[in-house]
Amino acid sequence: MKKVIDFVKANNNRYIEELKDYLRIPSISTLPAHKKDMKTCANFVAKKLKEAGMKNVKLIPTKGNPLVYGEWLGAPGKPTVLIYGHYDVQPVDPLEEWDSDPFEPVIKDGKIWARGADDNKGQNFVHIKSVEAYMKTEKKLPLNVKFLIEGEEEVGGENIELFLKKNKKLLKCDAVLISDTSMYAPGIPTINYGLRGLTYMEVEVTGPNRDLHSGSFGGAVANPINELAKIIAKLHNKDGKVTIPNFYSKVKKLTKKEKENIKRLRFSDKKFAKELGVKELYGEKGYSTLERLWARPTLDCNGIVGGFTEEGAKTVLPSKASAKISMRLVPDQDPNEIAREFTKYVKSLAPKSIKIKVKAMHGAYPVVIPLEDPAIVAAAKATSKAFGKKTVFTREGGSIPIVVDFVQQLNAPAVLMGFGLDTDNIHSPNEHFSLDTFHLGIISSIYFFDEFSKIKRK
Ligand code: BES
Ligand code: MN
């Protein structure tokens, strides 16, 4: 073990240079203009898996971006861990808010700054490098490893889902290891045991058949922006509750144990508000901040467009307005049911003076993972050893669509070993990832292989 860890230390600078190369590829999955970059990035990951000593490395074509697979199955009788990550990233807008080029990584203040540095290239690279360190020093791993890295997580991950359903044998494993979540606080080793789900909708409102002079027509016809704003405003009541019928009917309450855990974590609303630059936090009445983030569903408008948005002023009564609205879900809400309820309700709110179209975009099921699983116990031990502190257990407000499918289709626990921080600016300008954490992440991964290799298989 010492040899493996010494290798990581000795090669740390090279690892960082390689991570930079990974981050230079602008693999933005939602923008069609980046189609070619997706393939380039998949090839990059495949090359790194080969260099790390993985066998049977291949790109698996899908209807969308390719999946990258690799394996090392040289430890018969030992457990198998499937490592999942995603090589696609979010768009970089607004570009003018970045202090440096999002696709030209820079090292500053002990962090690496670029789109994808945390979410998810930095985090999945951790495991590629831990495997490499093992293979280069011991010539073998203490357990069997499979990698499955996708290129469509940020757009709902439908193709990996289809692949998983048809390839359960190939992906058979004793646990799925995923680093795509956050630590509770800097330097605090964290295992996440829950993710929220998601229903993402688009609402388009049309008024008159063309843009109109707002003087000649204002007051005579409904303005689609005004009407859309009214509809959005009706989606919450004064207590911050979502008004969609049946929205909360399947929401599970936190257990007593979870409530106690939250208490022990001593979350500071004040510190959180200060870091975000707001005077006060906001949310559903009657729940603490961590409860609202981890165990309560929400509805948020992600973007709204319509009319004249350029510099200067133009008097216009626009023909169209639209909004993207998403809902974060918790067990046992069903994203498809919620999409139907949303559609019905929003349509019912629309006055006769406008036309309304409601479209479901993508979704994800919420998930909670039992903490007693030996894989979770091994992961908690491993991260604690690497970071030199007691591991804490958290749920997350974010979503990773494929996790539920892994758990259900492979009948294996998901180990969410997060190394990010809420302050890393994922999906936002100036994304970054701590280099110390990158290093300790690799060490955690190495310890996990060791700990997990000792468990009795089911
Ligand atoms: N890494 C995130 C998920 C995440 C975010 C975990 C914050 C913990 C904290 C992941 O890449 C992501 O952004 N997922 C999307 C999924 C969606 C597009 C279906 C999300 O949560 O918005
Ligand atoms: Mn993301």
CATH number at residue 220: 3.30.70.360
- Please give the Cα distance from 237 to 190 (Å, whole number): 35
Q: Which atom of ligand 1 is nearest to the CA of 326?
A: 22
Residues 59 and 66 sit within 8 Å (Cβ to Cβ): yes
Q: Is the pLDDT of residue 283 over 90?
A: yes
3-state SS track over 150-219: ECCHHHCCHHHHHHHHHCHHHHCCCEEEECCCECCCCCCCEEEEEECEEEEEEEEEECCCCCEEHHHHEC
What's the total number of domains in the chain?
2
Q: Provide the residue range defining the domain that includes 444.
A: 2-195+366-452
**CATH code: domain of residue 104:** 3.40.630.10
Whether residues 92 and 166 share a domain: the answer is: yes
pLDDT of 88-99, one tens digit each?
Answer: 999 999 999 999
Say what the pLDDT of residue 156 is.
85
CA distance 184 to 383: 13
Nearest atom in ligand 1 to 328's CA: 21
Q: Stretch 18-24: mean pLDDT, rounded?
A: 98
The DSSP annotation for 258-297 comes to: HHHHHHHHT--HHHHHHHHT-SS----TTS-HHHHHHHS-
**Confidence bin at 414 (pLDDT 50/70/90):** very high
Mean pLDDT of the residues in the chain: 97
Ligand 1 near 88 CB (within 6 A): no
Same domain? For 177 and 234 the reply is no
Residues in the chain: 458
362 pLDDT band, cuts 50/70/90, is confident
Residue that terminates a domain, selected from 323, 348, 364: 364
Q: Percent of the chain beyond pLDDT 90?
A: 98
Give tens-digit pLDDT for 233-263.
Answer: 999 999 999 999 999 999 999 999 999 999 9
**pLDDT tens profile 111-169:** 999 999 999 999 999 999 999 999 999 999 999 999 999 999 999 889 999 999 999 99
Ligand 1, atom 10, lies closest to the CA of 400
Report the C-alpha gap between 239 and 231 in whole angstroms. 17
Q: Same domain, yes or no, for 203 and 348?
A: yes
Q: Answer whether residue 102 shows pLDDT above 90.
A: yes
For the CA of 157, the closest atom of ligand 1 is 19
Q: Token pair for residue 196?
A: 């929220």
With 90 as the cut, is the pLDDT of residue 456 above it?
no
CA of 427 to the centre of ligand 1 (A): 9
Pocket test for ligand 1, best of 155, 400, 424 (most atoms within 8 A of CB): 400
